Chains A and B, each alone.
Chain A
Amino acid sequence: MFKFIARRLLETIPVLLIIITGSFFLMHAAPGGPFDSERRVTPEIQRNLEAHYGLNKPLHRQYLDYLGRLVLHGDFGPSFKYSNRTVNELIGESLPVSLRLGMYGMIIALVIGVTAGIIASLRPNTATDYVPMTLAMTGICLPTFVLGPLLVLLFAMKLKWFNPSGWYDPTDAVLPSLTLGIYYAAYLARLTRGGMLEVLSQDYIRTARAKGASEWRVVLKHALRGGLLPVVSFLGPALAGIISGSFVVESIFQIPGLGRYFVTAAFNRDYTMVMGTVIFFAVLIVAFNLLVDVVQVWLNPRLRFQ
């Protein structure tokens, strides 16, 4: 196991290097720069600005400088757009927010999704299957930018239970977490149902039943472990996505999370921020995929021998 993890960790180094190099040069190849605006500055001011950020050096020099700072100091550099803050600070400030929101969202997704999936799988092609699965299909089809405002209209504007936006007291997390959670719950419900159906038809389940194991025991102990396998492989990338923030949910609820930077940094040509978010997300994806592999080996005894 240790060897497996160590090998996987070593493999990530070239992967990250390729991502960093690719993004760096692609980003600089895109037309327009961080200081372009409808009100153009005079050429001499432009030159001074570029000199300030080292953009006047040749591109390969900038690349090596960037890589050096990153590897030696873990320094993503100053943000071009939010100039008195560094990318490290901005990510550091917004990550906990996205992490919290993502965790709540994921918990809601897991509780609703897995439960609904199990219920649906117990009696396939009956009402207890169709109702949750129809709801799940609706959840998948209902984008967050529709669901979010709908929840706000109902719970914040009509019933006045929550604030319509903001991120101040704990109740502010409820509506955005639900918005995020319901969307993922829908996927999880369908995956769980599929996984469970597959497992429930296995011989060992019939054996368990024949031995008189209670239904709770059969479903939760014997079937669920195998039935969750597709969910687990989906969860890896989904977790990376959910905790690195959602632009749409953050924008609807005005949440100071990380998700907005993925979009706005690219629009602003905020070079350091683009790189920061890309690298951060790449590391997350790699880490969670590794985690998923480990969990899958633990869940699925057949994999242990391979």
Chain B
Amino acid sequence: MIRRKEVPTLPSRKTLAAMRKAGRVRSVHLKSTAFLLHLWLLLAAALSLGGCVRPGGRVAQGNHDQILYLGNGAEPADLDPQTTIGEPESRIFNALFEGLVSMDPKDLHAVPGVAERWDISPDGCVYTFHLRHNARWSNGDPLTSHDFIESYRRMLSPALGAQYAEMFFNHVEVVNAKEFYDGKISDFSQVGFQAPDPYTLVVNLRNPAAYFLQICNHNSWYPVHLPTILKFGKFDEKSTAWTHPGNFVGNGPFRLKAWLNQQELVVERDPNYWDAANVRLHEIHYYPTENIDTEERDFRSGQLHVSYDVPLAKLDVYRKNAPQVLVISPYNGTYYYRLNVTNPILKDKRVRRALALAIDREGIVKNVMRGGQQPAYCLTPPDYEGGYVCRAGIPTDYDAARKLLAEAGYPGGRGLPPVEILINTNASHRAVAEVVQQTWRDQLHVDARIVNQEWKVYLDSQHTLNYCASRSSWIGDYVDPFTFLGLMLSDGGNNDTGFNNPEYDRLVSHSREVPDPVARREILQQAEAILLDDAPVAPIYFWTRVYLRQPSVKGWYDNIQDRHMPKFIYLEETSPPPGLQKVAADGGKTRPLLGRLP
């Protein structure tokens, strides 16, 4: 409603002059100028709100006090190790709990945890753990084998709705665990756990799972303090108040000190822990910062010791100016495209192979991801400890791809209906999909289209096989090919491609019964060769973890699981890395920002 022309706000100059002459008005003009001045002063005062506080970087103080500040990616959903599945929670559990065995921070091999030693039967199916007598809960209660068995009974109670219950019957098969979970037996003493005395725990497995000790260090296998749980709810009741600060009881090297929703979670060294004398950190603060740009600014201004992530746009700047804080380490995960075997276009194996052969993996890794990822020609990432390295593979070979496509009846891509690439909405996935789309177009003359969907809709489309090709990734739960190859079993809940090959199923299942590691690896090699030949998946790259870490953080080693036991971490007082200031100066010249991969 602004009508500029009709607004005589002040008397006209003529009138004013006349009024002034008559001596009736001192000066309206002068008065309004003074008034304006007042208003401008008010405005300036409003703008200069705020004090001049100068908070010192937390990191420098933390180095001195042994307080570690960690970016943790997201707000923990809960602190019950039996009902949570996320990465942020599992990082906190590394401090709050300890399993039967722990792991060496460098090469991940099993080291004594609550159990000071263990025996394995010759057939690899019976594990006897000898618990240390001085293991305690954070409230001072002794920790016994009975606690473990009760915890496992809770974990396998259907009413708890534990998402990781399958860790007891799918990945390793504890005798009768599935039967108990399905309600076929109700007597828990028939399940393969025994406690001959308070400090001995026997676990009976159906198959000799080579990776069982690794699973013992997974949060689903951690003990929980039943008396505390019963104080705040029923035995198998999910999400009660027992995990709130003040109520929480754990058995790890640290105990819960504070938990401010969406702000920070603080743990402090627990004097009751059996090895407290060797724990050097006093406190760890976990920050649930989801905005990776905010997190990077926090890191750069000395508020964080370790970030969870780095904005892709900042990678090159850090590489150039502060390489000593940029961490790039191989990670146990694969980024791949699912190719829907039941789709009318892709049901022909030759078409799937052709598409999988025509992906510019090198280009994607070098120009799009730029975080040290390795191009993937098979599904299982190479075991960096020298175990399993897949021999078969789907190479990048455009000639072979064109030939296969012609054999399938689509010479030069003619007659092939458009191929849709399904992605969840994310700039990074889109960038990869665009490279794939372009390569398919240029090399095979295939009309490829990108379809993006919101996360949960995308998951639904993928699960109901309502797609053609779909971007996917998988992070291994433990370091063993089974965590990747088990994925593609015809009855695997996460197969989601329609791939169904009885020979593959037979080999993968059979591998679990073979105790000899060399023979077992050989069987898995055969299985993966079958899988890649059939190409229900097109591997693209192997993951890396890319984050920032201050040089003062010691005892933190890169490993393929990206697991860092706080027990071994300590801080050294060092001067801040010189390049960090320059990161800011170069910040504007980098490439556009790409989002975080979920």
Contacts and interface: CB of A to CB of B under 8 A. Distances in A.
B454 interface: yes
B496 to A, nearest CB: 8
Contacts of A108: 46, 49
Contact of A157 (B50, B472, B584): B584
Contacts of A65: none
Interface in A33-83: 33, 35-45, 48-49, 51-52, 78, 81-83
B14 interface: no
Interface string A264-276: 0001010000000
Interface string B267-301: 00000000000000000000111110110011011
A48 B39 contact: no
B9 A197 contact: yes
B9 A152 contact: no
B290 A251 contact: yes
Contacts of A153: 297, 584
A69 B295 CA distance: 39
A124 interface: yes
Given A37-B85, A128-B36, A194 B75 contact: no
B532 to A, nearest CB: 21
A118 B288 CA distance: 43
A212 B28 CA distance: 10
A178 interface: yes
Given A83-B238, A256-B261, A122 B290 contact: no
B294 A157 contact: no
B79 interface: yes
A85 B1 CA distance: 49
The 8 A-B residue pairs with the shortest CB-CB distance in the complex, in nearest-first order: A32-B456, A256-B262, A174-B50, A83-B239, A31-B460, A49-B161, A52-B161, A111-B46
Contact of A48 (B55, B77, B79, B161): B161
A178 B48 CA distance: 10
Interface of A: 30-33, 35-45, 48-49, 51-52, 78, 81-85, 90, 93-94, 108, 111-112, 115-116, 118-119, 121-125, 128, 149, 152-153, 156-157, 160-169, 171, 174, 177-178, 193-195, 197-198, 200-201, 206, 209, 212, 214-216, 219, 230, 251-257, 260, 267, 269
Contacts of B182: 44
A161 B54 contact: yes
Contacts of A90: 261
B163 interface: yes
B2 A219 contact: no
Interface stretch (B118-126, B240-248, B508-516): B240-248
B459 A38 contact: yes
Given A45-B166, A115-B46, A167 B39 contact: no
Contact of B460 (A36, A157, A215): A36
14 contacts: A36-B459, A38-B459, A40-B496, A45-B166, A52-B238, A94-B262, A108-B49, A122-B10, A160-B55, A160-B301, A161-B51, A163-B303, A194-B2, A219-B35
B16 to A, nearest CB: 11
B493 to A, nearest CB: 5
Contact of A45 (B39, B162, B300): B162
A84 B303 contact: no
Nearest to B53: A171
A44 to B, nearest CB: 6
A97 B240 CA distance: 25
B445 interface: no
Contacts of B598: 38
B53 A161 contact: yes
B505 interface: no
Contacts of A122: 9-10, 32, 35-36
Contacts of B6: 201
B165 interface: yes
Contact of B297 (A116, A157, A194): A157
Interface in B99-117: none
Given A52-B160, A153-B297, 8 more contacts: A48-B161, A111-B42, A153-B584, A160-B55, A164-B303, A171-B53, A193-B2, A194-B2
A160 B54 contact: yes
Contacts of B22: none
Contacts of B291: 251-252, 254
Contacts of B455: 32, 267
B260 interface: yes
A90 to B, nearest CB: 7
Contacts of B77: 81-83
A23 B170 CA distance: 38
A98 to B, nearest CB: 11
B240 A84 contact: yes
B9 A115 contact: no
A4 B293 CA distance: 50
A119 B1 CA distance: 18
Contacts of B54: 160-161
B80 interface: yes
Contact of B166 (A41, A94, A257, A267): A41
B163 A49 contact: yes
Contacts of A51: 159, 161
A99 B61 CA distance: 32
A275 to B, nearest CB: 17
Interface string B292-314: 01100110110100000000000
Nearest to B32: A215
B178 to A, nearest CB: 9
B78 interface: yes
A286 to B, nearest CB: 27
- A164, A174, A177, A216: residue with the most chain B Cβ atoms closer than 10 Å: A164
Nearest to B178: A44
Contacts of A169: 53
B493 A41 contact: yes
Nearest to A174: B50
B163 A41 contact: yes
Nearest to A90: B261
B166 A112 contact: no
A171 B289 CA distance: 19
A304 B108 CA distance: 77
A102 to B, nearest CB: 16
B85 A161 contact: no
Given A82-B75, A128-B36, A156 B301 contact: yes
A89 to B, nearest CB: 8
Nearest to B474: A38
B518 interface: no
A15 B294 CA distance: 39
B301 A164 contact: yes
Contacts of A78: 239
A251 B74 CA distance: 11
B412 interface: no
Given A45-B161, A115-B43, A165 B79 contact: no
